[in-house]
Each structure stands twice: as structure tokens, then as C-alpha cells.
Structure 1
Amino acid sequence: MSDMLKGQLLAGKRALITGSTSGIGLAVARAMHAEGAQVILNGLGDADEISKLQSELDAEFNAANLLDPAAIETMMADIGNIDILVNNAGMQHVSPVEDFPTDRWDAIMALNLSAPFHTTRLAVPAMKKKGWGRIINTASAHSKTASPFKSAYNASKHGIAGFTKTIALELAQTGVTANCISPGYVWTPLIEGQIPDTMAARGLTRDEVINDVLLAKQPTKKFVQPEEIGALAVFLCREEAGNVTGANWSIDGGWTAE
């Protein structure tokens, strides 16, 4: 029976997914675990819940604070060589540029852009030596377009798209690929929790908040499901995707097609 039929496309591969204790990162971790990868989780959350995830996924966990380059270096040394790196951890802040808190700008840049640089630079030597590797960066529709009041987020996501293209070119003949996944609005507990507050603040129904506020820019009027992103990440790790590199994959319900 083929590896594909056995659900073991990633058997023998070790995958670090940052920001993987919830949301998109957790969906990617589950998808890769289902294909046989040894998953290494990283992120925030309740210790008991994280322990449950470790049991579910037979996963390692590293609690490194990705805002700190020294902590990233320690994490990468502790976990050892990896085959797959998914830079998914991120944060957001909404404010007019003249009022944007400088500490929030610095934190967003550190987590969304600098952390992927540090994990990548430390993961690449072993990947190159092995002649195989996959680097996947979670960008955003905001890596291709912009929205007001999100100056740091937009800048960081445009930056991660450019960074991905650069390392894809540098690694083009090594067997290591680098790609972005750029979601639109994804259905996560964080998004779901915003709906009641938005209903109250704007005097709208639940459907109006979903269709006219949250999904206003997504022509399909459907949230991206985390599992869809997990499936795309697995595809990018397949042997058949060995010539797919330097790409920025939209999964945004048509948002950036307009």
C-alpha cells in the first residue's frame, strides 16, 4: 500500500509549527500529525490544555517566547534538526498611525517578521545538508493588499512575503522550498468571540455582522476553515510540490482577486 493510502505522506519528518496551540497553527499541526509527521508545538495557552494536545498529537512542546531572539536560539538548539518549519505565530493591533503605540509596533514586527527570520536561519543549515526541507510562512491577505489602521500588521505581512521569496531563491537548488499561505478571515474562536460585541456596538444582527462586516471583502461570503489551511500546508510538503517555491498562496474566498 502506498504512503498516500496509508496517510503517511510525512512519515519520518519532524515539523515545528509556531503558534500551534490554537487556531490555524493547531489545524496545521493536526493535519501534519495525521500524515505521520512528528509535531513540535509552540505557543501560549493553559498548561493542562497544552498537555492534552501533546497527548492527542504525540507531540513535543516548546514554550519559547518568540519575541526574544535568544529564546528562539535556545528553542532551535533544544529541539534539534527539523524537516518542516511552519512560521505561524502572529499578533495584530488596530490603531491610526499617529496614535500607534511604538511598543505594539515593535512587538508585531518581532513576532510576525523577525521570529520567522530567526527560526529560518537556524533551521536551514540542516535542511540543506539533508537536501530536503519545507518552510511555510503564514502571511495574510494583508500581504497582498492593505486595510487602514493596521500599519504594523500590513507591513509585517508584506515583509514576510518578500522574505519568503528571497529565501526561496537562495535555496532553489538545495531541495528546500519556501512558500507563504495567505488566508483571509478564518473561522476561529477568536473571530467567533468578536461577533456578540460587534452586534451590540453596531446594532446589527449576527448575520449582518458576519456578511457585512467580517466577510465584506470575501466574495464567497464564507470563512476560511483552519482545516483548509492545514490541507494546503500538507500539500506544500509533498514530494510532488518540490518545484513549488517562492509562491504566495491565497486562501481568502476571492478577496485579493478583486
Structure 2
Amino acid sequence: MACHLKDYLCQSFKNIYGKIALVTGLAGKVALVTGSTSGIGLSIVNHLADLRCNVILNGFGETKHIEDVQTKLKRQNIKVNFFEDDLSTVQGNLTLCDNIYRIYPTGVDILVNNAGNVPYLSDRDRHSSQQLR
């Protein structure tokens, strides 16, 4: 699967994950990668899939793009699930956990917290040091 990062970063990921795979045998492990529908999160998913991990995608994006990602992974005989639960809310976290538990009752082996969550700041308060603390 193609890497979505710069060449040098992609090679670093391959070196790191390759060494981890040799030591731990990640094949068949279940990996949840938050914020995994694009960017670094998607690259991590692709590398974990190369190591034969089953993956759980989480994030937001265009339906067609996410379906294409799932199709590519399934062609590699990777079990893949996608949940669009909003991890910036308590309810979104609870729903994601419930959804995962229904499919993987023994839990997740690997968790990559990649989702970005920044509190909203209005333009007027953008530089307020009080709000940034």
C-alpha cells in the first residue's frame, strides 16, 4: 500500500514498524487508530495493515474516500471497521467503545491516539492567554 507521507518519514515508519513486527508478531492484532481517515493516521493504518494487523478506522471525511480505503484494506485480507464517532464528546467515546466491544469483545491490542481536538476560540478571544491556559 502506498505511503502518504514524505519519503523519509515513510521509510522511518517502515523501519520502526518492521522492527516492532519482528519482535512482537503483530499479525492478527486489533489496532484502533483515531483520526485515521487521512494524513498521518491513514499512513499508520496502512503500515499496520502491511504488518497484518486488523484495523479500526475512526475519523471524519468523504464517504467515498473512506469506502475506498476500506476496500483496499479488505483486498489485503485485513479485517477493517470504520466508526465516525466524535471523540471530542463523552458520548462519542462511549459509543465508539460500545461499537468496538460488539465486534471485538476481547478488546483492542494497539491504540494510536492520533485524533486532533482543539477547543473553539472565537476571533475576538483568539489571543486571550486566559483561554489558552
- C-alpha separation in 1, matches of 2:128 and 2:25: 45
Identify unmatched segments of 5+ residues in structure 2: 1-20, 75-79, 102-106
Is it true that 1:49 corresponds to 2:65 in the alignment? yes
Q: Following TM superposition, by how much is the alpha carbon of 1:88 offset from its aligned partner in structure 2, in angstroms?
A: 0.6
Bigger Rg, which one: 1
Change (3 A) 1:66 1:14: same
Q: Identity across aligned pairs (percent)?
A: 37
- C-alpha separation in 1, matches of 2:32 and 2:95: 14
Q: Which amino acid aligns with 2:35?
A: G
SS at match of 1:85: strand
- Residue aligning to 1:82: 108
Q: Following TM superposition, by how much is the alpha carbon of 1:32 offset from its aligned partner in structure 2, in angstroms?
A: 0.5
Q: What per-residue deviation string (whole Å, max 9, x for no partner) do you get for residues 98-134 of structure 1?
A: 595xxxxxxxxxxxxxxxxxxxxxxxxxxxxxxxxxx
Superposition pairs for residues 3-22 of structure 1, below 5 Å? Answer: 4=22, 9-22=25-38
Q: Is the 8 A contact 1:16 1:82 kept in 2?
A: yes
Q: Which amino acid aligns with 1:83?
A: D
Superposition pairs for residues 120-199 of structure 1, below 5 Å? Answer: 151=132
Root mean square deviation of aligned Cα: 2.4
SS at match of 1:31: helix
Is it true that 1:60 corresponds to 2:81 in the alignment? yes
Aligned positions, number: 97
Select 2:51's aligned residue among 35, 39, 46: 35
- Residue aligning to 1:23: 39
Q: Which amino acid aligns with 1:97?
A: S
Q: Following TM superposition, by how much is the alpha carbon of 1:97 offset from its aligned partner in structure 2, in angstroms?
A: 1.7
- C-alpha separation in 2, matches of 1:99 and 1:27: 36
Q: Following TM superposition, by how much is the alpha carbon of 1:9 offset from its aligned partner in structure 2, in angstroms?
A: 3.5
TM superposition score normalised by structure 2: 0.64
Q: What per-residue deviation string (whole Å, max 9, x for no partner) do you get for residues 66-125 of structure 1?
A: 12212211211211211011111004578312595xxxxxxxxxxxxxxxxxxxxxxxxx
